[in-house]
Amino acid sequence: MLSETGVDAEALSEANAAARLARTRADMWNLAGTAAQRTGDLPAAKTDFQHAVNLAPANITYRTSLGFALMDLGMATEALAEFGEILKREPGNRTARIDIGYAHLHIGDYDKALAEFRSLAAEFPDDAVIRYDLGLALKQKDQLDEAKEAFAEALRLDPGLSQGWYTLGITRWQQGDSAGTAEAMRAAIAHKPDYAEAHYMLGTALRQTGDLEGAAAALEEAIRLNPETPGPFNALAQIRQIQGNREAAQKLFAQAAAIKKKMEAAQAKRLGTMAPSRDLPSVR
């Protein structure tokens, strides 16, 4: 109940207690992993999901959760093995095939990712997510025109796919189309008003088109939605410099530097906590 109502820290405490009291309950370990993941403790999440998989190796949900925890930790090769195990058990599992494509993208094996998503798109032509994934693979291969076509088809199938609009905008940006980027980012924001990254990119694109006031407004909204990333602060600072407001620019640059320092410290701490996993239950 705590997990479902968003009380993540308390849910994690209760889930850990339950899992350790009922060490052979795979569902409790999975719940503990989910709670740890939601609080940002990825190493603990991986360990708990591994407990669940060891106890219930045929459970696809637990194995999928473990796979994505591994990818979040930069262990995409290990994640690929987990998704492959699902496919061995269920050869027709569409989700597992999509996840395998994602894992290949994370590894950097773009040819295999592209082959997987092309095959899926041929089998499931009306699946917007697969079309989007195909676009991602094409984008990574620098086949930008084809990537835009795939994103456009995904958006035709599902116009509310805000991530599709965003990535289409990024692809247009890569091709130097600032106006097209702004158009796509506005569409992404229309479907997801709290999309901080889209506001950031909208501001970046509008600055390139010469609309400094519009750019500043978009960047201010990006900062309001997510004050924990330095990019919008730096971009807004540059605009304030152009506008002659040096005091505001200096303040924004200082804020960006402080956020970057905080992020680097958090990253170092996270890497330092990736200790070997606890002993896992032997019950299967």
Q: Where are the domains of the chain?
A: 180-273
pLDDT of 137-192, one tens digit each?
999 999 999 999 999 999 999 999 999 999 999 999 999 999 999 999 999 999 99
Long-range Cβ contact pairs of 16-22 (< 8 A, separation 24 or more): 19/48, 19/51
Among 93, 170, 164, CA closest to 128: 164
**pLDDT of residue 88 exceeding 80:** yes
Q: What mean pLDDT comes out for the span 201-217? A: 97
Q: Is 267 exposed, middle or buried (0-12, 13-18, 19+ CB in 10 A)?
A: exposed
Tell me how crowded residue 271 is: count the other CB atoms within 10 A of its CB: 11
Q: What mean pLDDT comes out for the span 43-52? A: 92
- Mean pLDDT, the chain, whole residue set: 89
From the centroid of its chain, how far is CA 222? 17
pLDDT > 90: what percent of the chain? 74
**pLDDT of residue 282 exceeding 90:** no
Dihedral sign, CA of 131, 134, 140, 143?
negative
Tell me how crowded residue 122 is: count the other CB atoms within 10 A of its CB: 10
pLDDT of 224-233, one tens digit each?
999 999 999 9
- Residue 226 belongs to what H/E stretch? none
The pLDDT of residue 173: 97
Contact 53, 59 (CB under 8 A): yes
The pLDDT of residue 40: 83
The pLDDT of residue 17: 66
Q: For residue 90, give the 3-state DSSP assignment.
A: coil
- Determine the residue type at 94: R
Contact 68, 81 (CB under 8 A): no
In terms of pLDDT, which residue wins out, 7 or 137?
137
**pLDDT of residue 96 exceeding 60:** yes
Contact 237, 244 (CB under 8 A): no
Tell me how crowded residue 18 is: count the other CB atoms within 10 A of its CB: 15
CATH 3.40.109.10 for the 180-273 domain, yes or no = no
Residue 41 to residue 45: CA distance in whole angstroms: 6
